[in-house]
Amino acid sequence: MLPHKFIEQRLQQAVTAVLPDADVTAVLVRPCPDPKFGDYQTNALMSLAKARKLNPRQLASDVVAKLDVADACAPVEIAGAGFLNFRLKPAALAQTLQGAARGEHLFSEPAAHPRTVVVDFSSPNVAKSMHVGHIRSTILGDCLARTLRLLGHRVITDNHLGDWGTQFGMLLVAWKRELDAAALKADPITEMERLYKKVSAECKANPATLEAARQELVRLQAGDEENLRIWHEMIALSRVQFDTIYQRLGVKFDHTLGESFYHPRLQPLVQELCTKGIARESEGALAVFFEAIPPLKEHPALIQKSDGAFNYTTTDLATLMHRLETWRPDEIVYVTDARQQLHFQQLFAVFRRWHPEAKTKLAHVWFGSILGEDGKPFKTRSGDTVKLSDLLDEAEERAYKVVSEKNPEQPEPVGREIARIVGIAAVKYADLLPNRQSDYVFSWDKLLALNGNTAPYLQYAYARIRSIFRKANVGQDVSPVPTCELSDALKLDAREELALARHLLNFGLVLEAVADDYRPNYLCNYLYELAGHFTSFYENCPVLKSAPELRTSRLVLCDLTARVMKQGLDVLGIETLEQM
């Protein structure tokens, strides 16, 4: 068991011994903010004492009297207003590191109670190009899925494609009237976007075109053969584009069930909501009202439009039901931008009223916008949305410039491959580093900066470690992370060694925090600190030139750092490089 878990368990037992009816789930152990206090601390006793009007220092000393952590810690210290400070015994620290070096763990433990979690993210629209608006959902969602998987949960990723709706009526009109077959063949998305742009302008100007679009949509929904064929073709062409992007990003989905998949379920669903008295007629449409929920009182959810068509609340309800029936998840996570908060509040509220018995946790994980350097929504110079493929191309191109400047003698193909990995990593990292709820300003210079909290910096730290192993002649180059020989005792004496070692132990804690709060930026910051601790160690503690025993000990530390860095970056969806 990892030390902090051990301490936490013993601490909770001690608290229970002193206060048998206390809820100990919030009695947690955290790393100390300053190493001078120790390795771990708890401040839970102070809030516990406050809630019960006890003297916090007295409670702390009562708990300490019942607390036995001597296996792992030096005597526990009561500090300040009632903190408990824990200091790991050197043997406990070394033992944990050695367990990791033997491959028994990598500073995290599988969840005690694995859950089934559906993660819904990305969701691009058919016949349109993926653009910057999809990048955060895609990258965040993928990262959360990876984190949950690493922690031992059963994760199902589902890409809810926008493949149904009014836009297809318009597209069908334009497709039939003025499709440029050659252009379609050359660049399908651009042609479909051209068609859509043209016809949607026409619809605004000319009611007859709008009516024609409506009729095409009705025919499509009624199963008209030609319309279905065209629609299928649009989906197939779009998915080629999506798959290309996902491949570049290293993102995979277990399922891609578009909106159209749920179409047959919508009518019965609406029927049921009406029969159960949950939905009712309002201004010609069918709506669910939330009189009992103050924030939603003024915001009923429409589930059928006055023209009889369904909207996205209806589809999302059907999707939700399908997921419950198919996968029986404990939790469903929706990764979308902030503007959809009201929608998800409504969706969840309808569902709770419909199925009050359901225990499934529903989480809307929302994020802010990507802004240009002018502080306005990120656009190209000409004012168009930035295509994701262009963005990734530019990232790789800019990364190549940096790479070849740093390493001019590198053969071009090698440089290109490094640039690909660095460029994609930089874009992803820039997206994961800010608190997801804040808007962030997209800046190439910051993204690809070689110093500061960026992907290249982390990758560089990793590459430096790997370089040590090449020079050390331990392990083979084919194995990205060789296991090095272990001595029985790690020698952790230098300040830099201890700081690095202690930081390694916190990896699992951070992963859990990421999963609990859906915030990958915690992991970004952890890895940045890890890289910082490592480079300090690297500057001050020679590895290869040290005496044999110390050399081995330091190689172990290097190896563990590399493994955590690689695993951490992998969770962020970022590849590592053996050489930069």
Partner RNA sequence: GCGCCCGUAGCUCAGUUGGAUAGAGCAUCUGCCUUCUAAGCAGAGGGUCCUGGGUUCGAGUCCCAGCGGGCGCGCCA
**162-221 positions binding RNA, by CB under 7 A:** 162, 165-166
Q: Which of residues 301-330 bind RNA (CB under 7 A)?
A: 302, 305-307, 309, 311-312, 315
| Residue owning tokens 């690809």 | 448
Q: Which of residues 239-268 bind RNA (CB under 7 A)?
A: 259
- Rounded Cα gap, residues 208 and 118, in angstroms: 43
Query: Binding of RNA at residue 520 (CB under 7 A)?
Result: no
The answer to whether residues 153 and 117 touch, using CB atoms and an 8 Å cutoff, is yes
Q: Which of residues 528-567 bind RNA (CB under 7 A)?
A: 528, 531-532, 535-536, 538-545
Cα 358 to its chain centre, rounded Å, is 26
Identify the CA nearest to 246 among candidates 348, 123, 149, 341: 123
Helix, strand, coil in percent for the chain, rounding step 5: 55, 10, 30
Which residue among 37, 327, 348, 444 contacts RNA (CB under 7 A)? 37
Query: Binding of RNA at residue 440 (CB under 7 A)?
Result: yes
∠ CA 360-329-365, nearest 5°, is 70
Structure tokens at 210: 């709008």
Q: How far is the CB of 199 from RNA (least distance, A)?
A: 15
Task: For RNA, give the closer residue by CB, 63 or 184.
Answer: 63
Which residue among 44, 320, 530, 572 contacts RNA (CB under 7 A)? 44
Q: Which of residues 74-93 bind RNA (CB under 7 A)?
A: 79-83, 85
Q: How far is the CB of 473 from RNA (least distance, A)?
A: 11
Q: Which of residues 48-67 bind RNA (CB under 7 A)?
A: 50, 56
Q: Which of residues 335-364 bind RNA (CB under 7 A)?
A: 338-343
- Rounded Cα gap, residues 86 and 164, in angstroms: 58
Instruction: Give the total of residues touching RNA (CB under 7 A).
Output: 104
Task: For RNA, give the closer residue by CB, 28 or 486.
Answer: 28
Which residue among 261, 334, 457, 518 contacts RNA (CB under 7 A)? 457
Q: How far is the CB of 84 from RNA (least distance, A)?
A: 8
Query: How many helices (H) and strands (E) in the chain?
Result: 21, 13
Burial class (CB in 10 A: 0-12, 13-18, 19+), 413: exposed
**Residues 139-171 as b or e (16 or more Cβ within 10 Å = b):** bbbbbbbbbbbbbebebbbbbbbbbbbebbbbb
- Span near RNA by CB under 7 A; candidates 173-181, 198-206, 463-471, 560-568: 463-471
Q: Which of residues 263-292 bind RNA (CB under 7 A)?
A: 282-285, 287
The answer to whether residues 145 and 157 touch, using CB atoms and an 8 Å cutoff, is yes
Q: How far is the CB of 316 from RNA (least distance, A)?
A: 8
Task: For RNA, give the closer residue by CB, 184 or 580.
Answer: 580
Q: How far is the CB of 3 from RNA (least distance, A)?
A: 16
- Rounded Cα gap, residues 530 and 566, in angstroms: 12
Query: Binding of RNA at residue 32 (CB under 7 A)?
Result: yes
